[in-house]
Every structure is written in C-alpha cells, then in structure tokens.
Structure 1
Amino acid sequence: MVSISKFPFTLLPEIKPILVNLNPSMSWSCSRCTFLNPPSQKSSCQICLSDSPLAVSSDPSISVPKPKWPCKACTFTNPYHSISCEICGTRVSASGLATLETDDDDDDDLSSSVGNVFLPLRPCNKGKITTRAPIMVEDDVKESVRFRCTNAANKRKSREEPLGVEEAEVDAAMGYRGVKAAATKAIEISDSVEQEPGKTFSTSKSKVLKILTYNVWFADIEMHKRMKAIGNLIALHTPDVICFQEVTPEIYDIFQHSGWWKMYSCSISNVMELTRGYFCMQLSKLAVKSYSCKPFSNSIMGRELCIAEIEVEKDMTLVVATSHLESPCPGPPKWDQMYSKERVQQAKEAVELLERKRNVVFCGDMNWDDKLDGQFPPTDGWIDAWGKMKPEETGWTYDTKSNKMLSANRTLQKRLDRIVCKLQDFCVSDVKMIGKDAIPNLTYIKEKKVKSEVKKLTLPVLPSDHYGLLLEISPQ
C-alpha cells in the first residue's frame, strides 16, 4: 500500500455549489436547445421549457466557487478559463469542459422525442447569438489560443509553401465576418503528381475535381479514433476540397496533427474562431483566392454560410460553399420546434447570394426534410447532384438502421446532407457516399431505456453519425 502523503499534491476540499437565481437583466443560452433567451423573470427556456442555468448572484455576501478542471496528464487543477494545462500544456478535453458547463446528462433518455437523434446539442451552447456580436474573451485565453496556433503554424512552415494569405477588410454591406485572400500563380501539373496546397491545375488534362462534405459529429464518443478514421477516408479518396461541419476546437487540434493536413490550406486562421463551440471549416489543395463567412440573419444557433473562391486555373474560378443549416430541436410541451421556416429561409438566402457566380458547389449538412421543408430552393440552372446521378437510391446520409452506431436511437432515415451545383465550365461526373463502414474492433456502450428497464447495448463505432458525400466534377 502506497501512502498518499508521498505524492506532491494536496487534496482539494469538496466544494458544494450554491444555487443562485439567474439575474433577470441578463440573456442566457439554453443548454438543451441552444435558444438565446431574452432577459426575463422566467426561470425556464421559452422554447423547450428547460430550467435556466446557474448564474452569479449580485449579492456580494454569496461567494460562488469558480469551476476548475483537472489535467489528465499531470493532475494539476486548472482554472476554468484555461484551455491548456498551466503546468504541462495538455489541452482540456471537450467532455471536461462540458461537465463543468452543464450537468444535464440525465436527460439522455429522449426516445419519445421526434428529433432526439440530432442531439447532443449541449456541448454547442457557446457563441449562439443571433447577430454574431464580437466575442469577448479574457486575455489569458486569447494568449493561450494564439500560442497554440502560432506553434502549429511554425511546425507547418517547414513543410508547406507560403500561400501569401493576408487579412482583408470585412465587407460590412454583405455581413461577412472576415475575408482572407491568397495570391498564387497558375501552375500546370500532371494527374500523377501529388498536389501541393495552394496550386492550380490545368483543365487540359481533364482532371477530375473531388469535393467532400462531411458532418464529423462533435460528440465525445471515441473522438480521436473517429477522426483518425475520417483521416483514412481522406487519404483514400484524396478530395481536392473538403467541407466539414460540427468541427470543435478539439477536433481541429486532432486534424491539425494528422498526416494528411499538410496537403491543404485551411479556412480557419483567426484564433478567435477556436473559442467557439463548433463551426464549419473548409480545406483546399488548390489555390484559394478568398475565404469568407456570412452569418444567417435569422439563426439562433450561430449558423452561417462559408465560402471558398478557388482558382482552378488562370481566369477560371470555382466557388465552393458549405453550411450547417438550423437543426430540428423538438422539446416540450408541443415537441414541434423543428425550425423549418428558419432552415428554408437560410437555404434561400444562400442560393440568392451564390447564384451570381459562374461555377458554384453548395454542400453541407442542410438538416433537410423534404416532407417538412419542401423542395430544396435551387431552381433554374441548379442541379441536385445525388438526385441527378443516383435517382433510384434514397441517399439517406443519416440512417439509424444502416448506421448501427445509432441503432439505439429513434428510427430516422433522411437525406440531411445535400450537394447542389450551378456549373457552366464543369459537369457532375459522379457522387458517392463514404464512411458507411464500422471502425474495426471498436465499440461503445449505449444505455437505452426500454419501458422501465435500462439496458446497456454494445454498439459499433462509425466515423460519424452522418455519412459523407464525395462529389466529382469534370471540365466540360
């Protein structure tokens, strides 16, 4: 038996939280449905009626202990606002932060909910604001994020050719959060040559362009192994452009240390982006003239349209846009918070902005339900890639029956993810679904309540709860 007194640390006393009423003059984000509730005397969410979170009391006589998180590597107890351990530098896990932010794990039993398969939404209640106001972050958090980003950038400098990326002015008229431009010369390459980031290619070789869209699922279920599996799919299919949804800072960090990462330039360069709960991200092997993001005016979940303008060859550009449209989030008492109107309006807003371009691919997790939302907005000149190439197949990218990882959830089979195109210099040559196979020798335990009995199910793990879509387009 080893005496605990020999270890160089002291045990912290047990801290019991003090329940304090929420300040009625403050707005607050619901930890269940992510709705931003206005200041009110009510103590429950206006959408799903969930209880409001704890808030700091205005009474100075009441002291609420600041939460801390223990480092998994060295056990040092760090202040909540620190993203990395102050002793050894180990990054806090998303699950660690989620545990401190909310203690809602008991509400996993949502089998009667219409849309429970879209959960978890709880880890994503950061930055959910309707107008995307500037995010206020403490200086030490900024410095911590900036330090990690600088280190990562320095590591890649030795193996990447500089892209000459500069921050440009924000286009206030269009509502863009930021635009960055990259200037590179067109270089003709052979199909057999491995593509370097920031290069263009000549269409004289009739090279097929591959564009991948994938919702990577921010759930903390075997996250590292799932992201590695997605990396293996990238290495296998070698997409030229990648559009990810539900990327968290932790997932970003995993990708950044992956072998395939060095082949791409990334749309995420602003260190403040990494303080958000989750976001969309674009990567490209080809030269990118600009990246930009336009928040949707009606989103209560912080959703936006991300746009990459890619230089395919001199005087020929391809616009690739992605988004994660408003998610269904039903809750009591009516279970009807499906946000269909918001989703339809966001799709129309995106299409109206993109259709001015000559060559456009708009892809992502549209959360689209044909029965509820109707036909997807694109009209003349636009095509649905899956509908055109594989009209005989359902195209369900979210399928609780074929994706055994989700077999404990309520049955849902939908074509949530879409790729629509408006092309004048290209044509769609193929589209396929990827990520449908379970990761070998990997399972997880899922509790499911059947009547009054709670059963533990051993289920396989797939790369994500969604399947990815891989589009191929060829020069005409």
Structure 2
Amino acid sequence: MTYNVCFGKDYELHSRILALGNIIQHHSPDLICLQEVTPEIHGLLQKSAWWPEYKCFMSRNMEYYMEGDMARSNMGKPLSKRKKYMERSYFCMQMSKLVVDSFDGVPFSHSVMGRELCMANINIGGVSLVLGTSHLESPSPPPRLRSNERVAQAKESLMLLGGRGSSNMIFCGDMNWDEKTDGPFPLPDGWVDAWAELKPGEDGWTYDTLANAMLSKGSKKLQLRLDRFVCKLPDFEVQGIEMVGKDPIPGVSYVKVDVARWKIKEKVYRQRRERMLPVLPSDHFGLVLTITPRAGSSASSE
C-alpha cells in the first residue's frame, strides 16, 4: 500500500487518521508506504489495534524531529536539530509484516524541499525484494514547477534501488508526476508502471478535485495521477492494483472558507464564503498493489 496521508489539520486530522487505520486494517497489506507523516500522525497510528503486527521504519531526520531540539548521532555526540529539520515537518514511513534485512533513508542530491528516498530490503521466502518510497519534489507556482528536480529524483531513485543487491524492486509514493510538465516517467528496461500495465485506458487519478469532495474548488478542477507503483519484478507477477480511500467518512465534515478578491479602479474588494464539505481519509486516494510469486520462484505465498 502507498498513501499520502495529508498532514493538514484543517481536515479533521484525528477522524481522517482513524479512517486511514480502518483502511489498513481492512486490506491488511504486508508492506505499507506512507508520505506526509508527522509526529502527531505517527502517534495516532501507534494507537491502532493493528500496529503491533508491523515493524515501523522511518528517516533518521524524523527521529530527530520527534526527539526534540537535541539528539545524539550514532557516535554518541550531540547533534543539534538543524533548521532544515524544523522546516521538514512531515516525512515518509515504511511498515512491514515481513522480514526486513536493512533500511536506509537517502537524501536526494538536489532537493530544496529536503526530500529523500526510503529503501527497505525485504526477505520473502528467501527471495529479496527492495521496496522504495518517496515524496518527490512538489510543484511550485508557474512558471517554475520543479519538473527538472522531479525527473532527476525519479532517475536517482531507480538507480539507488538498483544498487541494493536485488533484482526485484518496487518504487512507490507521491511522485507529484504530471506528464504535461514532466514527460513520461523515466522507466528503464524491465520496469513497468503497475496502473498503466493492469488498467490501460483508466485514468487512475489519485488527486481529483471532482471525485474527492473534500477538495471541492467550485468551477476549478485538477485531476492527476500523482501516486504510483513502478516495478521490476522478475520473480513476481504484478497481479492487481486497487484505489482506496474514495468514500467520505460518515458523519464527519469541515468548514471550507473561500475568499474572493477583486479590484475595481483603486479599490480592493473581498468576499468571504463558508461551505460545509465532507471529509475523506486524505486529499489523495491510496493504492494497494498485489504481487504473487512467479512459477518456479522460491518466494512463499505470503
């Protein structure tokens, strides 16, 4: 499972994380990759009944953030929490029911937003699989959309995953990808985009201001396939992919405030409007990928 959980508190955070937990409990995925996890969200998830079934892995940067103004490095020396940690108020997190041989969080070479790649080496019946997740650079207002950074980070991610000693690799997360600005996702030979492979012709929009009523923007619409699974799996078959978290949370709503602004001659006018909107688990929809061992593979059915 991959899910951008939305760190924003304006959307009834506690109710949303409870709903997210219910989705996790229902699907019971072996591997979970979450983006935009804050210390508060981490704490709320820890209270879930299913939490003990998983081992949790996160960036060292998030550990520093959670521990306070001072932390200690592996060498035992004091390490001040730098300004960039304060600015990075959310992170990626991986969770696994399966055996994890190693985990690393590697900052990207070029990221003004402090983005990174989280990677775990998973053992599945003696077969190694590398799972990577990231939240690639977010678009900034035109004319600069940080497309160059995203493309470079996507290429760097696949290169780093390829250096983890396994031929089986999955890269997932909030790619912030838009073919109109970024072009085709840079997949090397042997890699496939799971949604495009399994659901050709279906849009797969995981950020959709029409389908997600929590994001209602009046006449404006934005529909993008920001969240993706891309895979290279010689020992497994990509069997299914499902979009989750598309239903409003029963009985939960929030007040959305819209402020219109216009200018006539030298005078500026503003109009404030409040709307009651439903709440969904996130501003993104999540994805659940199913893979199975290929015939002849020694990987178990887990």
TM-score greater than 0.5 by the shorter chain: yes
Match of 2:230 in 1: 420
Q: Which has the higher strand share?
A: 2
| 1:17-28 superposed matches below 5 A | none
Match of 1:458 in 2: 276
Q: Which amino acid aligns with 2:190?
A: G
Identity %, equivalent residues: 54
Match of 2:81 in 1: none
Q: Which amino acid aligns with 1:369?
A: D
Distance of 1:414 and 1:309 partners within structure 2: 30
| 1:95-146, Cα deviation, whole Å (9 max, x unpaired) | xxxxxxxxxxxxxxxxxxxxxxxxxxxxxxxxxxxxxxxxxxxxxxxxxxxx
| 1:288-337, Cα deviation, whole Å (9 max, x unpaired) | 001101100100101000001111112x111110000000121xxxx323
Tell me if the contact between 2:172 and 2:230 (Cα under 8 Å) persists in the aligned partners. Answer: yes
Q: Report whether the alignment pairs 1:400 with 2:209.
A: yes
RMSD (Å) for aligned C-alpha atoms: 1.4
Q: Report whether the alignment pairs 1:344 with 2:142.
A: no
Distance of 2:112 and 2:37 partners within structure 1: 18
Q: How far has the Cα of 1:248 moved from its partner?
A: 0.4
Aligned residue pairs, count: 260
| 1:272-311 superposed matches below 5 A | 272-274=64-66, 276=85, 277-311=89-123
Q: Report whether the alignment pairs 1:320 with 2:131.
A: yes
Distance of 1:351 and 1:310 partners within structure 2: 17
Q: How far has the Cα of 1:450 moved from its partner?
A: 4.1
Distance of 2:132 and 2:65 partners within structure 1: 18
Match of 2:37 in 1: 247
Match of 2:80 in 1: none
| 1:24-423 superposed matches below 5 A | 212-220=1-9, 221-268=11-58, 271-274=63-66, 276=85, 277-314=89-126, 316-330=127-141, 335-356=142-163, 357-408=166-217, 410-423=220-233
Q: Which amino acid aligns with 2:291?
A: I
Distance of 2:24 and 2:149 partners within structure 1: 32
Q: How far has the Cα of 1:273 moved from its partner?
A: 4.6
Pick from 214, 239, 242: which aligns with 1:429? 239
Distance of 1:336 and 1:303 partners within structure 2: 21
Tell me if the contact between 2:59 and 2:91 (Cα under 8 Å) persists in the aligned partners. Answer: no
Q: Which runs of 5+ in 1 are unaligned?
A: 1-211
Tell me if the contact between 2:58 and 2:105 (Cα under 8 Å) persists in the aligned partners. Answer: no
Q: How far has the Cα of 1:258 moved from its partner?
A: 1.3
Q: How far has the Cα of 1:269 moved from its partner?
A: 8.1
Q: How far has the Cα of 1:404 moved from its partner?
A: 0.4
Match of 2:77 in 1: none
Q: Which amino acid aligns with 2:182?
A: D
Tell me if the contact between 1:351 and 1:377 (Cα under 8 Å) persists in the aligned partners. Answer: no
Distance of 2:171 and 2:43 partners within structure 1: 26
**Relative CO higher for 1 or 2, CA cutoff 8 Å, sep ≥ 6?**
2
Distance of 2:256 and 2:212 partners within structure 1: 14
SS at match of 2:93: strand
- In terms of Rg, which structure is larger? 1
Q: Which runs of 5+ in 2 are unaligned?
A: 69-84, 262-269, 295-302
SS at match of 1:259: coil
Distance of 1:412 and 1:432 partners within structure 2: 21
Tell me if the contact between 2:58 and 2:92 (Cα under 8 Å) persists in the aligned partners. Answer: no
| 1:400-445, Cα deviation, whole Å (9 max, x unpaired) | 0000000027421000011100001001000010000000011100
